[in-house]
Structure 1
Amino acid sequence: MHLTLRQLNIFQAVATHSSYTRAAEELHLTQPAVSMQIKQLEDNIGLALFEQLGKSLFLTEAGEELLGYCERISQQLRDAEDVFDSMKTLSTGKLNITVASTANYFAARLLASFSQQHPDIKLSLKVTNRENLLKDLKSNGCDLAIMGKPPEELELNATVFMENPLVVVAPVNHPLCQETNIPLSRIAREPMVVREQGSGTRFSIERFFHNHGLSLIVAAEMSASEAIKQAVSAGLSLGIVSSHTIELELEANRLKVLDVENMPIIRHWYLVHRKEKKLSPIAIAFRDYLLRVAPDL
């Protein structure tokens, strides 16, 4: 059965007025055009929808059934229109954001603040490693992503919104905590707890040491910044992490940032989406909000 909204609208007008003529006037059509559409509709369904008794037009049993469906369809279309209007005014909608695990330390606060301004928006925050974040971008699994340096092999729109300094941290009783302007060559002699191979942070650290003619001594690899902080705090060795991840540890005097020459290593945070992706109004609103508040982060 192949019905069109145009045919249903014409049928509903004829049923409402019990007249082809008045329906044609309402719809600004000719009476023959209305009659033809009703005939096509009846042929499609295989049942008569109207019966003419004298000068009066009545709905058949099939016509009564179809009118009920038309009314429900019309209501659903009005509901859809209301939803779309609400989305345009940012009073409803969904926003899916995937962030690199290190970015979670500020991303959750960002979303909470944004949600307070748009309480009816449904927010989804996925925290994952770089590999899975790239999978989300490739599969259109998120509206926006927050990550370190985006890969060149994907066609992405990427906007820098904040610096991401990498610092050397030590347990508070480490001898180097008492020194200032520590040579990088001295730090290179210390074993380090760092992120796993393949992470953007690990790549930046290794490139930084290589550019200074030094090698990185890896004591242990961790898949999350939280694990690095705990290992360093427990005295395993020094570590290199994003300064955004250690606010609580510094306040609690569990870690110390070492004063190392040529550091911190400056990376950047990017807000990313696929180039061909058409952002929803709520995604655009979040992007604008992030760029506006980023200087205060």
Structure 2
Amino acid sequence: MKKGRLRIAAVTTTKYFMPRLLGPFCAQYPGIDISLEVINRDRLLERLARNQDDIYVMGVPPDGMDIECEPFLDNSLVVLAPASHKLAHLGRTVRFAEIAREDFLVRERGSGTRLTMERLFEERGVPLRVRMELGSNEAIKQAVVGGLGLAVLSDSTIGDDHLRNEVCILDVEGFPPMVRSNCSTFGRSNCSRQDGWIMRHRR
């Protein structure tokens, strides 16, 4: 496929790596125009239900939809705390029971990161103490700096963040759990472009 259009919808956590991944594909296929919509998971699922795009990138594929799903990128979740937090200075691995006693800052309901986080706590048989819901990862990081609670975020959202000196990643037992980002396709009208992009970035 030398020319055409590839429409991609991706959840917000992918904004930290999706643009970089698209660069090599664009260089190899300069005749293909790419549109990238970075949105929250609920809006992505709405677009998926209406078959508005060619590829959908998310961490947790939905149940009950006739889609084809290909894993392509591993991502890890980490526990973020203020640099001054008591759990950051224990000199040992933090037990899960210790973070379970802390308040957490979370994304809105339906967020893939929140779903994974809720499952982790449910598997441990402990309740998740939600202090506050926030609409973006950036807001959550600022709230962590402000001492409002801990957070579980994708490691890719931290990167070379300017807040590195004000927050720390806790060494918690069972972390980091690996979350695989998935490419889902609904229908196969542009399968050569879809498969070309997915196969290039699977790892």
TM-score (norm 2): 0.92
1:248 positional shift: 1.9
Q: Distance in 2 between matches of 1:107 and 1:173?
A: 32
Unaligned stretches of 5+ residues in structure 1: 1-87
Letter of the 1:190 counterpart: E
1:158 aligns with 2:72: no
Letter of the 2:174 counterpart: N
Aligned partner of 1:144 in structure 2 is 55
Seen in structure 2, the aligned counterparts of structure 1 residues 252 and 189 have a Cα distance that, compared at 3 Å, is closer
Query: Which residue of 136, 149, 173 corresponds with 1:261?
Result: 173
Q: Over aligned residue pairs, what C-alpha RMSD do you find?
A: 1.7
1:279 positional shift: 2.4
1:204 positional shift: 1.4
Structure ranking higher in strand proportion? 2
Tell me how many residue pairs correspond in the alignment.
202
Unaligned stretches of 5+ residues in structure 2: none
Aligned partner of 2:121 in structure 1 is 209
1:237 aligns with 2:149: yes
Matches within 5 A, 1:1-297: 88=1, 90=2, 92-179=3-90, 180-249=92-161, 252-274=164-186, 276-291=187-202, 294=203
Structure ranking higher in helix proportion? 1
Conserved? CA contact 2:73–2:201, under 8 Å: no
Letter of the 2:97 counterpart: S
Conserved? CA contact 2:72–2:198, under 8 Å: no
Aligned partner of 1:76 in structure 2 is none
SS of residue matched to 2:156: helix
Conserved? CA contact 1:146–1:269, under 8 Å: yes
SS of residue matched to 1:248: coil
Aligned partner of 1:63 in structure 2 is none
Bigger RCO of structures 1 and 2 (CA < 8 A, at least 6 apart): 2
Q: Distance in 1 between matches of 2:57 and 2:88?
A: 33
1:250 positional shift: 7.3
SS of residue matched to 1:163: strand
Letter of the 2:48 counterpart: L
Letter of the 2:17 counterpart: F
TM-score (norm 1): 0.64
The share of aligned pairs that are identical, in percent, is 37
Q: Distance in 2 between matches of 1:177 and 1:119?
A: 48
Q: Distance in 1 between matches of 2:32 and 2:69?
A: 24
SS of residue matched to 1:133: helix
Q: Provide Cα deviations, 1:245-291, integer angstroms capped at 9, x if missing partner.
A: 111227842321100111123322101101x3232433322122122
Q: Distance in 2 between matches of 1:138 and 1:263?
A: 33
SS of residue matched to 2:119: helix
Letter of the 1:214 counterpart: V
